[in-house]
């Protein structure tokens, strides 16, 4: 596919709020899902005939099912607090990428069909009928939101644009206008067990190959077990960890941690995916169905603990939703009654002195940490408040000698999305992804210039894939991104402790 | 009983009914709608006590807005605090005898009325001159500011330019409360002031003023970060488990 040419934004010294460029991203649309992809998820194959009626009806259902949607469509006062907070707006200047303007794409329809003022005074309150033009605009701009929730941090009412984007995707799926990338991936999970469509035997081969690699590197017999009944820990990790770079380095890191700590663990071919794109399309049933594979695998294998690998949205789903979706986890070890993040596992082992870490092994690296949006704003780690910021950094500091945080307004809950989250990590959206990465790249450049940083650690498969692709556009080396457990993996000294 | 008195008396009963009925209907709707997933914007407090504090900071100090932009925060907070003082000051027209606290607040309410109009003017200027804010503004956003400024301006006019018979105005208000109608002074500034207030009351439950009850129902702000400890199965989601 030929991708239209576009200009990579220039990295500025200081972040500047862009001048509005109406329609700057009006051409950016991902491929629409074809009929077989749609039908596999129980959605209509193509735009249904009475789509308008169906869409309004679906909106009515969602308004009755989700308090967030109902309150957020009413509460906005157009104050503009969110306007300059979205990375896609900052990177593109398209005013419809301001969170409030994105919400208004749905709000104007809501007002027209669900409020008295909108019905009788549409012009005054900015209400509009659901025309084909509006639907196309929905498809364009709701596919330019990565559901990162940065806007919700700054909204005085906590309005979360992600909730509205998810509802829009639900409505579009229901009338046959799904997005190919996300829906195709969900289909693969149901059919094969993971997003990459990697079948069990291939997975087994890959893991055996990795075991050999580790043996060659370290001389140690580190195992990457698959479907081992009675193992203590089930590790559910994004399938990218099995053979994407730099993801696989983190997988090796987890294996080394379990090996040195002497914890028996296993991967599962049935639940060979931590990612859950059901979240991205806002579909509770899909999200539950995908999550259910983890519960089934855990029960089948008889494990005592569940751990989740480095994946941002997966951790949001695991931390915030699993207990509700597929709980209760009453079959787990009383000491580890809830699924844990791999960073929680490693952090506890470090604190117990169970790992031998040699910081000098990472001395060629000057490291910063990119908080992934779903971890930062949609979850927690550990029992202390703000643990999701503290724990990964403490692990990094235990593994490297040189660490520098990026500017405070771009980390922790203020973190900028990598530009590829929310089901937008597809080549048909490459322009959006490059431009949306701008705010993060500016903050990154600052620590590169000031401290010579040459490695951005992160705990999200999407962030890793996105940055690998996008860093070169900004004249950075693609190897500059990697996982936290990649650092753990290189610092750990194997052999009996 | 003059026609003006009858018209205004009936109008206030109608708009009060609209305001209270409309708000009750909206609030009941928010309360009735399930929140099937825990979506607090984290870091979030793990217990209810922390949630109350977070909400209090949000409602009283506009914490999130402060993080966003000092300009919007400054103008918005000033307007709301001034409005609160002005409303407190106005309580003297609805109580006999006047409560001590209300008597105490009188001079502050007076200063506040200037601050209120100034802050509103500042907010309106943003809407007109800042490109981003102009882009997202609908006619109703401008109208709401005009309405509030006009209410403030007519109020100030009665204090400093064209005095009205406030004793009679108070008698009228008390008469409405006790269903013992008293004549309303047919003073044009007062009538405009009251008519605008009535318009504000009537539009409240059908406008963006719903942000006032809305914030209390905002899941990103009113939920505790406790999803690991507790399941939060909504009624419709429970059906899926059958």
Judgement on whether residues A409 and A351 belong to the same structural domain of the protein? yes
What confidence score (pLDDT) does residue A163 get?
98
CATH of the domain at A120: 1.10.1060
- Opening angle at CA B74, ends B73 and B77, nearest 5: 75
Q: Is A12 a domain residue?
A: no
- pLDDT of A5: 84
Cβ contacts (< 8 Å) between B132 and chain A: which residues? 17, 20, 80, 83-84, 95, 98
For all residues of chain B together, what is the average pLDDT? 96
End of a domain among A148, A178, A208? A178
Domain ranges of chain B: 45-222
Same domain, A135 and A116: yes
Nearest neighbour of A323 by CB, restricted to B41, B65, B227:
B227
Cross-chain CB nearest to B228 (options A82, A323, A376) = A323
Residue A15 lies in a domain: no
The alpha carbons of chain B give a radius of gyration, in whole angstroms, of 21
pLDDT of residue A496: 55
- Give the H/E segment covering residue A305: strand A305-308
Chain B environment of A117 (Cβ under 8 Å): 140, 203, 206-207
Chain B interface disruption, residue of A149, A152, A156, most B CBs within 10 A? A156
What is the rounded distance in angstroms from the CA atom of residue A266 to the CA atom of residue A260? 15
Residue A10, in any domain of the structure: no
For residues A353 and A240, state if they share a domain: yes
Which conformational region is residue A106 in: left (phi greater than 0), alpha (psi within -120 to 50 degrees), or beta? alpha
CA nearest A61 in B: which residue?
B33
d(CA A167, CA B238): 20
Look up residue B48 and give its two tokens: 């209810």
Does one domain contain both A250 and A174?
no
A42 lies in the same domain as A71? yes
Residues 6+ apart with CB under 8 A from A389: A371, A376, A411, A412, B43
Angle between helices A342-351 and A387-399 (to 10 degrees): 60
A148 chain-B contacts, CB cut-off 8 A: none
How close is the nearest chain B Cα to the Cα of A341, in Å? 12
Q: What is the dihedral of CA B117, B119, B122, B126, to 10 degrees?
A: -120
Does A3 reach chain B within 8 Å, measured CB to CB? no
**Sheet strands side by side (includes A265-266):** A265-266, A233-236, A305-308, A340-341
Q: Answer whether A157 sits within 8 Å of B206, measured CB to CB.
A: no
Structure tokens at B159: 């204090």
Q: How far apart are CA A239 and CA A268, in angstroms?
A: 11
Q: With contacts defined as CB-CB under 8 Å, which chain A residues touch B36? A: 65-66, 284, 324
Contacts of A158 in chain B (CB under 8 A): 41, 58, 64, 215, 218-221
Same-domain pairing of A78 and A208: no
The tally of domains found in chain A comes to 2
Judge whether A263 lies within some domain. yes
Pair A383, A443 in one domain:
yes
Please return the burial class of B160, using the count of CB atoms within 10 Å of its CB with bins 0-12, 13-18 and 19+.
exposed
Task: Tell me the pLDDT of chain A (497 aa) as tens digits.
Answer: 445 689 999 998 888 899 999 999 999 999 999 999 999 999 999 999 999 999 999 999 999 999 999 999 999 999 999 999 999 999 999 999 999 999 999 999 999 999 999 999 999 999 999 999 999 999 999 999 999 999 999 999 999 999 999 999 999 999 999 999 999 999 999 999 888 888 989 999 999 999 999 999 999 999 999 999 999 999 999 999 998 999 999 999 999 999 999 999 999 999 999 999 999 999 999 999 999 999 999 999 999 999 999 999 999 999 999 999 999 999 999 999 999 999 999 999 999 999 999 999 999 999 999 999 999 999 999 999 899 999 999 999 999 999 999 999 999 999 999 999 999 999 999 999 999 999 999 999 999 999 999 999 999 999 999 999 999 999 999 999 999 999 999 999 997 54
Residue A6 lies in a domain: no
Task: State how far the Cα of B194 lies from the Cα of B158, in Å rounded to an integer.
Answer: 12
Residue A196 lies in a domain: yes
Q: In the structure encoding, which two tokens stand for residue A271, read together?
A: 């639940």
A495: left (phi over 0), alpha (psi -120 to 50) or beta: left
Instruction: For domain B45-222, give its CATH number from 3.30.1370.60, 1.20.1050.10, 2.60.40.680, 1.20.950.20.
Output: 1.20.950.20
A359 and A392 assigned to the same domain:
yes
Q: pLDDT (tens digit, 9 = 90+) per residue, B178-229?
A: 999 999 999 999 999 999 999 999 999 999 999 999 999 999 999 999 999 9
| Gap between the Cα atoms of A309 and A5, Å rounded | 36
CB of B60 within 8 A of CB of A91? Answer: no
Check pLDDT > 50 for residue B55. Answer: yes
User: Residue holding tokens 């991203």?
Assistant: A25
A116 and A215 together in one domain? no
Give the ipTM. Answer: 0.96
- A288 token code pair: 């539950």
Same domain, A61 and A139: yes
Cβ <8 Å between B240 and A319: no
The reply to whether A20 falls in a domain is no
Secondary-structure percent of chain A, ordered helix, strand, coil, rounded to 5: 55, 5, 40
**A 10-29 residues inside an 8 A Cβ radius of B:** 17, 19-20
Using an 8 Å CB-CB cutoff, list chain B residues near A104: 136
Q: Which of B123, B13, B39, B35 is nearest to A152 (CA)?
A: B39
A232/A260 same-domain check = yes
Query: Both A291 and A154 in a single domain?
Result: no
Cis peptide before B97 (omega within 30 of 0): yes
Domain contains A195: yes
Instruction: Give me the domain span that covers residue A219.
Output: 186-491
Alpha carbon distance B222, A272 (integer Å): 35
- Does residue A479 contact residue A13 with C-beta atoms inside 8 Å? no
Q: Which helix (H) or strand (E) holds A313?
A: helix A312-316
Nearest CB neighbour to A338, from listed B46, B217, B228: B228
Q: Which residues between 368 and 407 in chain A have a beta carbon less than 8 angstroms from any beta carbon of chain B?
A: 376-380, 385-386, 388-389
């Amino acid at each position: 596919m030929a991708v239209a040419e576009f200009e990579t934004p220039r990295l500025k010294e200081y972040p500047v709020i862009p001048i509005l460029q109406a329609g700057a991203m009006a051409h950016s649309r991902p491929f629409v899902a074809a009929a077989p992809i749609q039908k596999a998820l129980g959605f209509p194959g193509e735009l249904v005939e009475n789509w308008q009626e169906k869409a309004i009806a679906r909106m009515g259902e969602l308004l009755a099912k989700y308090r967030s949607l109902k309150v957020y469509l009413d509460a906005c006062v157009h104050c503009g607090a969110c306007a300059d907070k979205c990375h896609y707006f900052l990177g593109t200047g398209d005013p419809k990428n301001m969170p409030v303007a994105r919400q208004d794409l749905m709000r104007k329809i809501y007002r027209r069909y669900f409020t008295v003022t909108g019905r009788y005074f549409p012009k005054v309150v900015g209400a509009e009928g659901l025309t084909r033009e509006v639907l196309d605009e929905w498809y364009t701009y709701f596919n330019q939101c990565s559901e990162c929730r940065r806007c919700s941090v700054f909204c005085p009412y906590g309005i979360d644009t992600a909730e509205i984007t998810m509802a829009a995707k639900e409505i579009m799926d229901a009338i046959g206008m799904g997005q190919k990338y996300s829906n195709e991936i969900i289909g693969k999970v149901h059919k094969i067990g993971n997003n990459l469509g990697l079948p069990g035997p291939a997975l087994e081969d890959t893991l055996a190959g990795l075991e050999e690699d580790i043996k060659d590197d370290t001389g140690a017999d580190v195992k990457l077990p698959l479907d081992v009944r009675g193992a203590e820990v089930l590790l559910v990790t994004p399938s990218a960890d099995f053979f994407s770079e730099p993801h696989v380095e983190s997988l090796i890191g987890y294996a080394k941690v379990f090996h040195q700590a002497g914890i028996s663990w296993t991967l599962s071919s049935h639940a060979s995916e931590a990612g859950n794109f059901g979240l991205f399309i806002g579909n509770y049933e899909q999200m539950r169905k995908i999550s259910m594979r983890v519960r089934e695998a855990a029960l089948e294998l008889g494990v005592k603990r569940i751990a989740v690998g480095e994946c941002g949205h997966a951790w949001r789903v695991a931390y915030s939703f699993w207990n509700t979706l597929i709980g209760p986890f009453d079959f787990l070890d009383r000491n580890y009654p809830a699924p844990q993040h791999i960073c929680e596992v490693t952090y506890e082992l470090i604190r117990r002195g169970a790992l031998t870490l040699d910081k000098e092994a990472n001395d060629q690296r000057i490291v910063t940490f990119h908080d992934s949006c779903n971890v930062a704003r949609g979850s927690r780690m550990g029992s202390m408040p703000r643990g999701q910021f503290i724990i990964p950094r403490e692990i990094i500091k235990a593994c490297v000698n040189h660490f520098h945080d990026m500017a405070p307004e771009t980390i922790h809950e203020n973190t900028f999305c990598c530009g590829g989250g929310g089901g937008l990590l597809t080549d048909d959206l490459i322009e959006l992804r490059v431009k949306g990465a701008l705010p993060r790249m500016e903050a990154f450049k600052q620590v590169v210039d000031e401290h010579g940083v040459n490695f951005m650690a992160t705990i999200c498969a999407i962030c890793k894939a996105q940055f690998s692709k996008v860093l070169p556009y900004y004249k950075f080396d693609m190897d500059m991104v990697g996982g936290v457990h990649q650092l753990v993996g290189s610092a750990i000294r194997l052999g009996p402790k | 009983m003059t026609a003006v008195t009858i018209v205004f008396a009936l109008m206030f009963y109608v708009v009060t009914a609209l305001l209270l009925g409309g708000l009750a209907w909206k609030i009941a709707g928010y309360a009735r709608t399930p929140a099937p997933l825990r979506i607090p914007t984290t870091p979030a407090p793990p217990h209810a006590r922390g949630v109350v504090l977070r909400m209090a900071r949000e409602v009283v100090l506009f914490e999130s807005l402060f993080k966003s932009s000092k300009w919007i925060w400054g103008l918005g907070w000033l307007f709301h605090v001034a409005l609160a003082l002005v409303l407190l000051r106005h309580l003297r027209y609805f109580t006999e005898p006047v409560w001590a606290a209300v008597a105490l607040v009188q001079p502050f309410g007076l200063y506040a009325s200037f601050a209120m109009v100034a802050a509103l003017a500042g907010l309106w200027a943003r809407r007109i001159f800042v490109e981003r804010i102009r882009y997202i503004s609908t006619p109703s956003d401008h109208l709401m500011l005009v309405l509030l400024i006009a209410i403030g301006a007519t109020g100030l006019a009665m204090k400093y330019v064209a005095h009205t018979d406030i004793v009679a105005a108070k008698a009228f208000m008390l008469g409405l409360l006790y269903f013992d109608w008293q004549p309303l002074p047919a003073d044009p500034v007062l009538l405009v002031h009251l008519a605008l207030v009535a318009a504000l009351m009537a539009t409240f439950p059908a406008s963006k003023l719903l942000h006032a009850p809305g914030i209390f129902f905002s899941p990103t702000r009113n939920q505790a970060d406790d999803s690991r400890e507790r399941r939060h199965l909504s009624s419709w989601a429970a059906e899926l488990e059958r």
